[in-house]
Amino acid sequence: EAQVTQNPRYLITVTGKKLTVTCSQNMNHEYMSWYRQDPGLGLRQIYYSMNVEVTDKGDVPEGYKVSRKEKRNFPLILESPSPNQTSLYFCASKGDLSYNEQFFGPGTRLTVL
């Protein structure tokens, strides 16, 4: 089944404790992206990647890191999480750069105490 998977789905952590949220897609998509969803703000793009070893900042990259060492994986790293990073995070992928549909993962709900 074609899908985007994220792990973990739920995470509660404390300020300053490094964490990684994994994202994987099995559709051989070139493009992958991370968003955070907050009430009243919709989805805001954090980082995106157009291919292996190519990453770019979205609208809200501060406090986040990403890497794209393999085509299928695009982990989101919070080196020192803070409470304002409490949010619902979605990973997405799409096949190429011709503006086709993005496929979204199930979401990761992160709480930083």
Partner 1 sequence: AQSVSQHNHHVILSEAASLELGCNYSYGGTVNLFWYVQYPGQHLQLLLKYFSGDPLVKGIKGFEAEFIKSKFSFNLRKPSVQWSDTAEYFCAVNFSNYGQNFVFGPGTRLSVLP
Residue number, 48 or 64, with CB nearest to partner 1 = 48
Residue number, 31 or 64, with CB nearest to partner 1 = 31
Decide: is 85 part of the binding site for partner 1 (CB under 8 A).
Answer: no
- Of the listed pieces 15-23, 60-68, 73-81, 104-112, which binds partner 1 according to CB under 8 A? 104-112
Q: Are 76 and 34 contacting, i.e. CB atoms less than 8 angstroms apart?
A: yes
**Can you give 97-108 as a three-state secondary structure string?**
CCCCCCEECCCE
Residues 40-69 that bind partner 1 (CB under 8 A): 40-45, 48, 50, 56, 58-59
Q: What angle do CA 8, 12, 14 make, to 5 degrees?
A: 130
20: enclosing H helix or E strand: strand 19-25
- Of the listed pieces 15-23, 61-69, 75-83, 96-104, which binds partner 1 according to CB under 8 A? 96-104
Alpha helices by DSSP H, 1-113: none
Residue number, 38 or 79, with CB nearest to partner 1 = 38
Distance CA 1, CA 98 (A): 23
What are the residues binding partner 1 (CB under 8 A)? 31, 33, 35, 40-45, 48, 50, 56, 58-59, 90, 92, 97, 99, 101-102, 104-107
